[in-house]
């Protein structure tokens, strides 16, 4: 399995990556975002949502767990699972993976066992105030094709 890396030197670089990935979107796509607080996960979601045509202000759904944006080209399900502990099963996160939209999960490493086998993991590593190393790890052929095309 290949790792795909790129260096983001600004918010607009991170948003551009998100927009490039969005241009290759497909139903039931799952994108898992991993990285420390303030590394660019929500910025990525903002870029993706804006490319989808969603005009609402995107904020991290820390207290809601899931925010649904249904007014773009395709539904976007934005999850922040940081505050989830043992109650994962009861809120039916996996139901979202097959609703025909795109699911983006912040802090996905916290629910590793709940994630679908096929997904795109994006790891953000903070280098300094502006710079991030972003590593994309595709699980499954569809995601590998996407990485080969976009990165």
Identify the structural domains of the chain with CATH numbers, from first to last.
Answer: 4-150 (3.40.50.300)
Angstrom distance (rounded) from CA 74 to CA 46: 15
pLDDT over 90 (residue 114): no
Please state the separation of Cα 18 from the chain's center in Å: 9
pLDDT over 90 (residue 12): yes
Please state the separation of Cα 82 from the chain's center in Å: 14
Among residues 43, 84, 46, 77, the alpha carbon closest in space to that of 62 is found at 84
Please give the model's pTM, rounded to 2 decimal places.
0.94
What share of the chain in percent tops pLDDT 70? 93
The structure tokens 């976009």 sit at 150
Angstrom distance (rounded) from CA 25 to CA 72: 12
Q: Which band of pLDDT confidence, cut at 50, 70 and 90, is reported for residue 86?
A: low
pLDDT over 70 (residue 87): no
**For residue 59, what are its two tokens?**
């904020």
Kindly state the average pLDDT of the residues 123-146: 96
Quick check: 136 and 3 in contact, CB under 8 A? yes
Kindly state the average pLDDT of the residues 10-35: 97
Kindly state the average pLDDT of the residues 35-50: 96
**For residue 96, what are its two tokens?**
């979202």
């Amino acid at each position: 399995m290949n790792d795909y890396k790129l260096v983001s030197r600004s918010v607009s670089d991170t948003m551009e990556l998100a927009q490039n990935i969005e241009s290759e979107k497909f139903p039931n796509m799952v994108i898992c975002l991993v990285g420390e607080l303030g590394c660019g996960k929500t910025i990525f979601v903002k870029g993706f949502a804006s490319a989808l045509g969603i005009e609402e202000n995107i904020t991290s759904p820390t207290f809601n767990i899931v925010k649904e944006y249904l007014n773009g080209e395709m539904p976007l399900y934005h999850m922040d699972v940081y505050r989830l502990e043992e109650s994962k099963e009861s809120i039916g996160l996996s139901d979202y993976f097959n609703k025909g939209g795109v699911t983006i999960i912040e802090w996905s490493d916290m629910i590793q066992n709940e994630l679908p086998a096929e997904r795109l993991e994006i790891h953000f590593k903070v280098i300094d105030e502006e710079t991030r190393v972003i590593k994309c790890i595709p699980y499954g052929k569809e995601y590998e094709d996407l990485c080969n095309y976009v990165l």
